[in-house]
Structure 1
């Protein structure tokens, strides 16, 4: 991460050395953000651990902008220092808007679905990683490292079963997948149609099944989305893309299982390794998504393996994880 001297040099070269700086709320990553204010002008300074992340963010941002979507303009960048100066999209987070006006939930998620349904019209860069069956299984390795496991053999069998089940899905065409696409990473802008959605946090984009980002949006680890809205938007997506609802539903539930299980591992890692225990409060919601997805009869074999391998994040398990957090007070 860049030190203060590097930051000052970067801001001077960009013409923002005289701006006031205020930290912005961070996320689960190692990145940090500051809002810069200079009179009526504002910008956002992103500090990343390395230049590769800056390069990925910039590349995907340009791709999305060329496809007609809203991403912040790059005002200045220094890949070597891991610094990026961006257009400030403001504070109108979709998540905060929904908290204040919950009656807007159906319309906003309909717009999100329409954005995702438009994505297949834009072929993704061929050199991006492909999230296929083996890749989905590999991404679950961190769960075994950080989340309690009661049966390692069942956990290994579950990984393989997810990969195998995914590879039996009907043929599908990869789309650009933002991967961490949810209401905390969308800024609502005063722009028309799909451009109303200001996109953030897309540096880890890859090629994946079209259902992945819809799961990410509708099974949000940080907030409850109405089951009625979830059901409606799955049907909405299928209608917009003329996708077979049965095949899509299976892919959605399978990816929802894989994604939620990985999130349990990520939240455990954030607690144990990174000293961020605040993510523990989301674990029961994430586990409920797993249960909802495994209720699909087509995933009955996976349900048996999952319940053999992993305990529910009950208060005792969460307390045990909290005790392992390096920043938690010593009892």
Structure 2
């Protein structure tokens, strides 16, 4: 789709006249995505109001399905009171979505510019809003809206998380020779443990500081099109383990306590049970992060992600050292192999 075609399509969706809304009166700026293959543009009309236009990747058969999920889930989240951008219009045929422009300040930039401790109140706001979203957005959520899988389950853990880590990170990126049978057995046991957590809550599945926008002093959540039903602790782990920010352990504990306080305002949930579930779901998330960063840096040739492999491996080691994670010797050894290989390449 050319810029002229994009402007014309957006104008039709917004009910604009061709006289006032055309290539001559609308400014189009392409935006650089992170790991996504979707295409993003800022459209600024003659009245200076800006919209974010999102298009599916070209020649991707699943792109329309993903775009449709973005629209349906986004509308549901907003109706549930979740701080997500307003979706002004959507075209089912092209997958074009026109959204509220939230600006360019993310929690990621806030931490980089102001520091983690100066950003603590925003993190506290984010985890409180997270607890509300997970509970309230689960009500009336239709799994048919999901373009990928309707629920976070054991199969997804094995294929998209531990399997992703072994394939993209350990084999493809580092070329490691390891005891695959022993590691696979431990990954299966880890998935069994993680799958014990109740999974009927709303799961964002990529809840990290680059997906949290800031408008003034308010947090806003984006990139929710992969949402589905799942357990509570996974999204919290995504934020607290986030290699982009590398939160100190003391702050992780502090924010976990704030989250539990907010959760208990919504539903009764045993705190000790949650903390145990958190360890296993955090391990799953950590494996997914490493698989994704390895894939994006090597296959997609996005060198930006290489710098985050070290903190991600560090957090995986710290999780495996917890008492709840005792008995994962093969996975522990493999993590050490990854760290050693990364050091060789530094």
Contact 2:56/2:95 (<8 A) preserved:
yes
The aligned counterpart of 1:121 is: 136
What is the TM-score of this pair, normalised by structure 2?
A: 0.82
Q: Which residue of 2 aligns with 1:152?
A: 180
Mapping for residues 160-309 of structure 1, pairs under 5 Å: 160-169=188-197, 172=198, 174-190=200-216, 196-242=218-264, 243-302=269-328, 304-309=329-334
> Is it true that 1:29 corresponds to 2:50 in the alignment?
no
- Rounded Cα–Cα distance in structure 1 between residues aligned with 2:101 and 2:299: 31
Which runs of 5 or more structure 1 residues have no equivalent in the other structure? 323-331
What SS does the aligned partner of 2:327 have? Answer: helix
Could you tell me whether the CA contact under 8 Å between 1:151 and 1:310 is conserved in 2? no
**Are residue 56 (structure 1) and residue 81 (structure 2) matched?**
no
Q: Which of 113, 117, 121 lines up with 1:107 in the alignment? A: 121
SS at match of 1:307: helix
Deviation at 1:316, TM superposition (A): 4.3
Cα distance per residue 1:93-135 (max 9 Å; x no partner): 1222233333432211111111122131343524252212333
CA RMSD of aligned residues (A): 2.4
Correspondence for 2:51 among 39, 43, 47: 43
2-structure distance, mates of 1:8, 1:244: 52
Deviation string 1:201-230 (CA, Å, 9 cap, x unpaired) is 000001111111111111112122232221
SS of alignment partner, residue 80 of structure 1: coil
* 3-state SS, counterpart of residue 82 of structure 1: coil
Cα deviation, residue 310, structure 1: 4.4
Q: 1:36 to 1:28 in 2, by over 3 A?
A: same
**TM-score where L is the length of structure 1:** 0.86
Alpha-carbon separation, structure 2, partners of 1:97 and 1:30: 25
Q: Is the 8 A contact 1:109 1:229 kept in 2?
A: no
Closer/same/farther in 2, CA of residues 6 and 53 from structure 1, 3 Å limit: farther
In structure 2, the gaps of 5 or more residues are 58-62, 171-175
